């Protein structure tokens, strides 16, 4: 009876798709990183036999499809796996497959809906399924029945995979790049904002299935807040400050373009820094002095700070709050100095000269005091002459060591018995016995 009820609840599948993994041309040099380090294959797998490896790859995709389908995310329903053949639901009509997101002719309104759906899919994959797609792009998403469907999840990894956060960053960048460069030129959030939205738990997360509506409300509310920031950022880039341009339209437009160019360049730099920053997976990958800097509220890269705070549930709010406050003060100081530089170039040069003179006398003392107070390591920048002197000293030390070893070997050879004499003495001693 239970089986009959479940069958009645699920939609009837009339068309099936068959995915066959070819063993003759499949190369796993790049795909090994998606399997190695995952908990589900902790006991190892065969790398030398491609047929066994392709079977592992097919089994991996079936498991990922089942997990995604059970979580309620739009994806093809997995049916059966036999060796390297996977049978699943066919997404299409009368044998014609649904188009990929890359090929779907969507209006601006549909593109906005698709972007929101992609954002929610990324978050639900991470929070509900504990998975990271690993290759999410417009080529691995289908537009079926006015909805985004996820396909090609064979390379998806669990969130505890060593490279899970790196794969997630790449997925976020791929989604943003596509919708930013689409025909509608959508105003998308930054990669950092999308990454934080996927990884950070909301107050409604962690509840039972009965509270799924409240979870979705919390997600939509957080998403609305982020999109409001995106809209505000675009208004500032367009120069929408409410000022009148009468009498100076040409100069104001050039200033607006210059200001927008600066912000775009700064955003590109911030995104490049974020994509290349190190994200720890456990506290074993975080040094003690870095945790102390977080606790003191010193400036630390924002994504690194949030990743460490997520692994300290008892003190996450304290760590994030202190570091965020200090970083906000530093950001405000940079903005204030950037505004005042154009009016005080001469004064800044004089002050810079005086600061440089004072730093020669007091810089070393202040660094020593800071090292004594904090008890941590302080990195001091060295000149090219100091680095060259250190390199020459190491080279001379290695040369002297090599010379000493040669002399010791030559002295030992002076008292060494030749092999033929040694063998003759051994034979004589055996004959006497």
As annotated, the active-site residues are: 135, 152
The residue assigned the tokens 């001379």 is 396
What is the C-alpha to C-alpha distance for residues 136 and 168, in angstroms, rounded to an integer?
Answer: 9
Q: How far is CA 218 from the centre of its chain?
A: 24
155 near 31, Cβ under 8 Å?
A: yes
Query: What separation in angstroms does the CA of 174 have from each of 140, 190, 191, 274, 410?
Result: 11, 12, 9, 14, 65
Residue 149, C-beta contacts closer than 8 angstroms, at least 6 positions apart: 74, 75, 76, 91, 98, 141, 142, 143
What CA–CA distance (Å, rounded) separates 403 from 136? 59
Tell me if residue 19 falls in helix, strand or coil. Answer: strand
3-class state of residue 314 by DSSP: coil
Whose CA is closest to 92, among 10, 8, 14, 153?
14
* Beta-carbon-side half-sphere exposure of residue 98 (alpha carbons within 13 Å): 22
Q: How far apart are the first and last CA of the chain?
A: 94
Using a 10 angstrom Cβ sphere, with 0-12 exposed, 13-18 middle and 19 or more buried, the burial of residue 380 is exposed
């Amino acid at each position: 009876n239970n089986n009959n009820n479940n069958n009645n609840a699920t939609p009837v599948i009339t068309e099936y798709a068959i995915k066959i993994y070819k063993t003759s041309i499949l190369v796993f040099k790049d795909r090994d990183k998606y399997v190695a380090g995952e908990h589900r294959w902790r006991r190892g797998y065969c790398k030398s036999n491609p047929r066994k490896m392709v079977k592992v790859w097919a089994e991996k995709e079936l498991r990922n499809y089942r997990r995604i389908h059970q979580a309620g995310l739009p994806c093809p329903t997995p049916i059966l796996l036999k060796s390297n053949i996977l049978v699943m639901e066919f997404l299409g009509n009368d044998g014609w497959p649904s188009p990929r997101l890359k090929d779907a002719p969507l209006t601006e309104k549909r593109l906005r809906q698709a972007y929101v759906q992609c954002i929610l899919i990324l978050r639900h994959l991470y929070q509900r399924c504990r998975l990271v797609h690993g290759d999410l792009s417009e080529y691995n998403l289908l537009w079926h029945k006015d909805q985004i469907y996820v396909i090609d999840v064979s390379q998806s990894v669990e969130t505890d995979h060593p490279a899970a956060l790196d794969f997630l960053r790449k997925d976020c960048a791929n989604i943003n790049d596509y919708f930013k460069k689409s025909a509608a030129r959508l105003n998308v959030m930054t990669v950092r904002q999308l990454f934080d939205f996927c990884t950070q738990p909301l107050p409604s997360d962690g509840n039972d299935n009965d509270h799924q509506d409240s979870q979705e409300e919390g997600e939509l509310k957080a998403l609305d807040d982020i999109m409001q920031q995106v809209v505000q950022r675009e208004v500032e880039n367009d120069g929408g400050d409410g000022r009148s341009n009468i009498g100076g339209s040409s100069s104001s437009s050039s200033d607006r373009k210059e200001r927008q160019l600066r912000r775009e360049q700064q955003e590109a730099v911030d995104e490049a820094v974020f994509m290349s920053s190190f994200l720890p997976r456990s506290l074993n990958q975080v040094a003690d002095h870095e945790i102390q800097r977080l606790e003191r509220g010193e400036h630390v890269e924002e994504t690194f700070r949030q990743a460490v705070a997520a692994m300290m549930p008892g003190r996450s709010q304290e760590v994030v709050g202190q570091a965020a406050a200090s970083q906000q003060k530093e950001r405000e100081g940079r903005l204030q100095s950037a505004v005042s530089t154009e009016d005080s170039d001469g004064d800044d040069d004089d002050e810079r000269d005086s600061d440089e003179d004072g730093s020669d006398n007091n810089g070393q003392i202040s660094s020593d005091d800071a090292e004594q107070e904090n008890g941590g390591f302080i990195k001091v920048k060295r000149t090219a002459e100091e680095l060259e002197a250190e390199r020459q000293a190491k080279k001379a030390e290695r040369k002297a060591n090599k010379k000493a070893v040669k002399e010791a070997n030559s002295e030992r050879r002076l008292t060494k018995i030749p092999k033929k004499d040694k063998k003759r003495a051994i034979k004589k001693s055996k004959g006497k016995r």
